[in-house]
Amino acid sequence: MADVSSSSAYGGARVPAGTDTAAMPQPAIDVWNKPFWDACAEGRLIVQRCKATGKTWWPPSPVSPFDLRAGWEWIDSAGKGTVMSWVVFHQKYFAGFADRLPYNVAIVRMDEGFSIQSNIAAPNDGIHIGQRVSLAFEKRGNANVPIFVPAEEE
């Protein structure tokens, strides 16, 4: 998995020198998502899988949304997915993203079946629905955040 903490910005430009990634919103870590964030710190993306149905979901939760009686387990994601939708933000909602305007937020359907919202480290005009992407990580303050980069030709 790539680490793009010092080289990416979502509009296609590089992150300006001096950008304070610590000012970016930080995850609210709780008992249910702590394994997810611990794995991200190790450069891995994990997801919950229902033991009864085999279906995966995100964000983490205490019960399977597919079978409330079933247990679940954490599994590693291969980190490959497809852009299902995306939007470009032009207004500053969080001070930590001000230097990145305009930046994108995408919904990526991972090959394991779950969807996750994140950013794609690519020029905004180069993103399209159906585009294949690969997992990368970006250090933001104390968190190693999963983001995506355009996938190499498969």
Q: Is residue 13 part of a domain?
A: no
Domain assignment present for 120: yes
Which pLDDT score is estimated for 4? 60
At 11 the pLDDT is 47
- Asked if 79 contacts 1 with a C-beta cutoff of 8 angstroms, the reply is yes
3-state secondary structure of 20: coil
In a domain, 7, yes or no: no
- Give the pLDDT confidence score for residue 145 in this predicted structure: 96
Domain span holding position 109: 28-150
Output DSSP code: residue 37: H
96 domain residue, yes or no = yes
* Contacts of 123 by beta carbon, 8 Å cutoff, 6+ apart: 11, 12
User: Does a structural domain hold residue 22?
Assistant: no
Segment 33-60, tens digit of pLDDT: 999 999 999 999 999 999 999 999 999 9
Q: What is the pLDDT of residue 95?
A: 87
Tell me what pLDDT residue 16 has. Answer: 46
Side chain identity, residue 151: A
Regions in the chain scoring below 70 on pLDDT: 1-22, 153-154
Residue 10 lies in a domain: no
pLDDT at 52: 95
Report how far apart, in Å, the C-alpha atoms of 57 and of each of 110, 113, 122 are: 10, 8, 26
Backbone φ, ψ for residue 123 (5° rounding):
-60, 135
Domain count for the chain = 1
Give the Å distances, CA to CA, from 15 to 135, 149, 150: 19, 15, 18
Is residue 43 in some structural domain?
yes
- Is residue 125 in a domain? yes
- pTM score: 0.86
> CA torsion 133→6→97→45, rounded to 10°?
40
